[in-house]
Amino acid sequence: MSDQPVNTLLQPFTLRGLTLKNRMVISPMCQHAAIDGQVQDWHLVHYGKFILGGAALVWTESTAIASDSRVGIADLGIWSDEHIDGLRKLADFAHSNGALMGVQLAHAGRKAFSAPLWEGGHALSPDEITRSEISWRRVGPSAIAASSEWSTPDALTVAEMAEIRQQFVDAARRADAAGMDAIELHYGHGYLVASFLSPHANHRQDEYGGTRENRMRYAVEIATATRAVWPSNKPLFVRLSCIDGVEGGWNLDDSVILARELKAAGIDVIDCSSGGLSEEVKRSNVPRGIGFQVPFSAEIRNSAEIVTQAVGLIVSPEHANEVIATGQADLIAVGRAALRNPYWPAEAYRKLSDSDGFEAWPERHSAWLDKRQPMLRRFVGDEAN
């Protein structure tokens, strides 16, 4: 009997009323290409590549639920009904090519408004934001800056928290109107909800601060409210920093407990990321390497008994397949690997199946590739594969 893992990466997976054609997902990646939150031609081409590339589910970048909740000024938005038509174009193209489209709903909180990575990724100063003519405000659970680079956020009142919770709800309704198949609530990377979870960022003295149960309360409330308006046949994900990356901060045991609460609130999948809380507190030693976040996914999947999505330095289909086959995750999200090769999922079929054809490619591409293959074999032999 072969010791090789079963090729489960290629198998379909059902979540509520939707079936993913395989276990391969494209992770959210900020593009900083929107104008007033609106989808541009860049997004149609950017996401279209992954849709044609064979992924089962493609996530939008961090998509802002309010104009002042953006990670960057040029993020996609879903704070207005005017954003629906552009997002619908993405969903329609995905559906016409056998893929599903999801939208990541986000509020950046005290880490709102930063420059694109190619411009240094620094926090924008109040003057830089004001010159953009955006009405903006950094907010958090407490008046504690993410680092010396960031301005001090306003501590949210309970009434303001309720308004933001409603913004998530309104965004979910717009996502459904746009034909999106799934929602991911962004609870990671030091953004608003993650800062509520952290004892370093959250020094509140009310029912949303202090104990772990209190610090989790807002995350559970947002999930519950979103699930109430999101169609019952559509799955709801949460991206979670399973550890926040600082000593004495949010840890994996905390994430297991939160995952159980989120499952009870109607969350279907935990997307297992890490880090991003702060530059000002001592970091915990989290060695980075190939698949370094997979153990977080495995622990949450098995201890909280919830579906998980693994992400982070998963670069080969063989490794991704092993993660699925050994029960460490149910879905694999790739980001930068797909930027290098948008056909990463389609290539996985060739590497992990018995076929040397191009069945996983769109027929408008596969016909040409199949036609060339016999000639390539004559010239280069097995390297044609």
Chain centroid offset of residue 124 CA = 23
Residue 369 falls inside a structural domain: no
- Looking from the CA of 50 toward its CB, the CA atoms found within 13 Å total 30
Q: Mean pLDDT, consecutive 10-residue segments, the chain of 385 residues?
A: 64 96 97 97 98 98 97 97 98 98 98 94 89 89 94 97 98 98 97 96 98 98 98 98 90 97 98 81 66 94 98 93 96 96 94 84 88 80 60
Give how far Cα 247 sits from Cα of 175, 209, 278, 338, Å.
Answer: 37, 19, 11, 33
Domain that residue 266 falls in: 8-354
Residue 1, pLDDT score: 33
Give how far Cα 65 sits from Cα of 2, 14, 332, Å.
Answer: 49, 28, 26
Enumerate the β-bridge partners of residue 5. none
> H-helix or E-strand containing 104?
strand 100-106
Of 187, 191, 218, 343, which one is the catalytic site residue? 191
Residue 256 falls inside a structural domain: yes
Alpha-carbon distance 315 to 167, whole Å?
Answer: 36
Alpha-carbon distance 349 to 339, whole Å?
Answer: 18
**CATH assignment of the domain containing 115:** 3.20.20.70
Give how far Cα 154 sits from Cα of 110, 139, 141, 222, 379, Å.
Answer: 8, 5, 8, 20, 66
> H-helix or E-strand containing 101?
strand 100-106
Residue 360 falls inside a structural domain: no
Q: What is the tally of structural domains in the chain?
A: 1
Q: Is 191 a catalytic residue?
A: yes
Residue 385, pLDDT score: 61
CB-based burial label for 2 (10 Å; 0-12, 13-18, 19+): exposed
Residue 279, pLDDT score: 60
Residue 282, pLDDT score: 47
pTM assigned to the model: 0.94
